[in-house]
Amino acid sequence: MEKFTQVSDISSVPAMVRKALELKANPHAHTVLGANKTVGLIFMNPSLRTRLSSQKAAMNLGMNAMVMNIDKEGWALELRDGAVMNGTTVEHIKDAAGAMGLYCDVIGIRCFPGLISREDDYREHVLSQFIKYCPVPVMSLESATRHPLQSFADMITIEEHKLHTTPRVVLTWAPHVKALPQAVSNSFAEWALASKYDVVITHPEGYELSEEFTHGATIDHNQERALDGADFVYVKNWSSYKDYGKILTQDDSWLLTNDKLKNTANAKIMHCLPVRRNVELSDEVLDSPNSLIMQQAENRIYAAQAVLKELLEGV
């Protein structure tokens, strides 16, 4: 594997999930591979789980990890080719990515969308420029349109808890007070579909995700119908893709409560965290025995570890 930014970068989701579960069973089995290797974890945005789980994954492999908050500890990067840099950007991404790659064997980068220009965000301008100029393999720590380490961890979690081969996996929109990226939802859809699950996506009208990610899924604006028979319910807010970056509604009838789960197949509940409790999901759902949120968070380690291992072996 030369980079890890989306599901198409790996040859098989089930095979990668198996590798991650092997690492989970034996996390320190590959410290020879990581010895004297370094991962740089570059954050342009805040992070908790990604920050800690990626470091933990690196350390499990015997790697060193260097964390840099480039926005706070460094400076603003220029993205435009050919720019006359007489403004506020201090360094071109070409030079920053080039240099950072000299100090690392793998680089992870987090770069959120601006949620202003759909075109800019969806061409993944920052991530793709970074990859273009970085001399070592790059893994996404969440980019403008995808969060592949999260989705990989989600697939590991479903694998551990599914009761039959093709579970019904429902992604349901939830209210939120802020305009959030579509990244987690896009990514979850493409990974669940690549896993050949029965994927249903439910949301209010106007919240349709890009078909690039949802092709093959059932789209239903009726949450109750969508949840019927669900084995897994993935709850997530996102802002509008069509009316880009906008909050169209905060309709709290979309808040997921236990009552709404009564017609599911005793569904397991998933969320990537951080979660706005009692806005997206009720406490009763999040704290129920069916909640997998901590299992998902734990599997972030083994998703990152499997990716780092593949990237090191691909070198």
Binding site for its own copies (CB under 8 A): 27-28, 36, 38, 40, 43, 46-49, 51-53, 55-56, 59-60, 64, 66, 68-70, 72-75, 78, 82-87, 90-92, 95-96, 98-100, 102-104, 177, 273-279, 283, 286, 293-294, 297-298, 301
Are the C-beta atoms of residues 232 and 160 closer than 8 Å to each other?
A: no
Greatest Cα pair distance in the chain: 60
Q: Which of the 8 DSSP states describes residue 279? A: T
Please, what is the minimum distance in Å from the beta carbon of residue 87 to its own copies?
8
* Helix, strand, coil shares, percent, the chain, to 5: 40, 15, 45
Minimal distance in Å, beta carbon 84 to its own copies? Answer: 4
Choose between 69 and 218: whose C-beta lies nearer to its own copies: 69
CB of 300 to its own copies, least distance (A): 8
DSSP reduced 3-state for 235: strand
Of 1 and 270, nearer to its own copies (C-beta) is: 270
Minimum distance from residue 193 beta carbon to its own copies (Å) = 27
| Cα–Cα separations (whole angstroms), residue 148 to 109, 246, 249, 315 | 12, 23, 27, 20
Nearest approach in angstroms of CB 240 to its own copies is 19
Distance CA 286, CA 58 (A): 29
**In the complex, least distance from residue 41 CB atom to its own copies, rounded to whole angstroms:** 11
Run of H or E residues at 67: strand 64-69
Q: Is 295 exposed, middle or buried (0-12, 13-18, 19+ CB in 10 A)?
A: middle
Residue 171 · residue 193 · CB < 8 Å: no
Residues 61 and 311 sit within 8 Å (Cβ to Cβ): no
Cα–Cα dist 270/249, whole Å: 22
Q: Which CB, 65 or 169, lies closer to its own copies?
A: 65
In the complex with its own copies, the residue whose CB is nearer, 132 or 215, is 132
